[in-house]
Amino acid sequence: MFTLYRAPWVCLLLLGAGCAQMPAEMALDSPVYSASNAGLVVGSLNGAGPYGTWLEFRDEHSAKTFGWAAKDYYSAWLPAGTYQVSSLGSRRGTMGAFGQPLRFTVQAGQINYLGELVNDCSYPVQPTAYYGVMACGPLALGTCTVPRASVGLCVVDRQKQALRTFLKAQPRFAELPVRPALMGTR
């Protein structure tokens, strides 16, 4: 029997399930984007946890954001342009860049390999970028800041492995040219 004290849990579950799905416009069978007007980004996450990681990219020109909960290998259509990793979600909370954000460039009509994003990369490796839990004020109504770094992120080039896995699952994209578009802080 459904009782009132269970209502908040049901709402949280439904909200979480809605946030996890990739928007239809970004999906591989997108009704909006294709190789004629966008680039296909392919990458992977290491240390994303059993439920994945919220991943949000912001177009530096239009400020439009594209986000979804990615897990392991991911792929999505994005319009051509330069992007920042504007936020990441994890058990720590929503994280933003502490210092320079990760950036990458997408070219239309190509597979743009972004790299493997390694969460909490270990010493002696120097992290590519630092991200921290965002402080957004009461009820998240204020401007968000990142007061300190919580995690160092590394970007590792495993293009051959990632593309083999992607193209095995999605052979229809084998004709697209591949370009490295590794995330960095440039």
Reported as type and span, the H/E element at residue 97 is strand 93-97
User: Does residue 61 form part of some domain?
Assistant: yes
> What's the predicted TM-score (pTM) here?
0.83
Residue tagged 């933003």 (tokens):
96
Check residue 12 and give its pLDDT: 36
User: How deeply is 73 buried, as exposed, middle or buried, from its count of CB atoms within 10 A (0-12, 13-18, 19+)?
Assistant: middle
User: Does residue 134 form part of some domain?
Assistant: yes
User: Does residue 185 form part of some domain?
Assistant: no
User: Does residue 152 form part of some domain?
Assistant: yes
User: Does residue 18 form part of some domain?
Assistant: yes
Residue tagged 């490796």 (tokens):
125
Report helix, strand and coil shares of the chain as percent, to nearest 5: 20, 40, 45
Contact 182, 158 (CB under 8 A): no
Taking only the tens place, the pLDDT of each residue in 39-54 is 999 999 887 665 568 8
- Residue 13, domain CATH: 2.60.40.1120
Taking only the tens place, the pLDDT of each residue in 107-145 is 999 999 999 999 888 778 889 999 888 888 776 666 788
Total residue count of the chain as it appears in this document: 186
User: Does residue 17 form part of some domain?
Assistant: yes
Check residue 2 and give its pLDDT: 41
Model confidence at 16, pLDDT cuts 50, 70, 90, reads: very low
User: Does residue 135 form part of some domain?
Assistant: yes
Residue range of the domain that includes 113 = 4-180
Q: Determine the Cα–Cα distance for residues 56 and 87; give it in Å rounded to an integer.
A: 5
Is the bond leading into 124 cis (omega within 30 degrees of zero)? yes
Number of domains in the chain: 1
User: Does residue 186 form part of some domain?
Assistant: no
Check residue 75 and give its pLDDT: 95
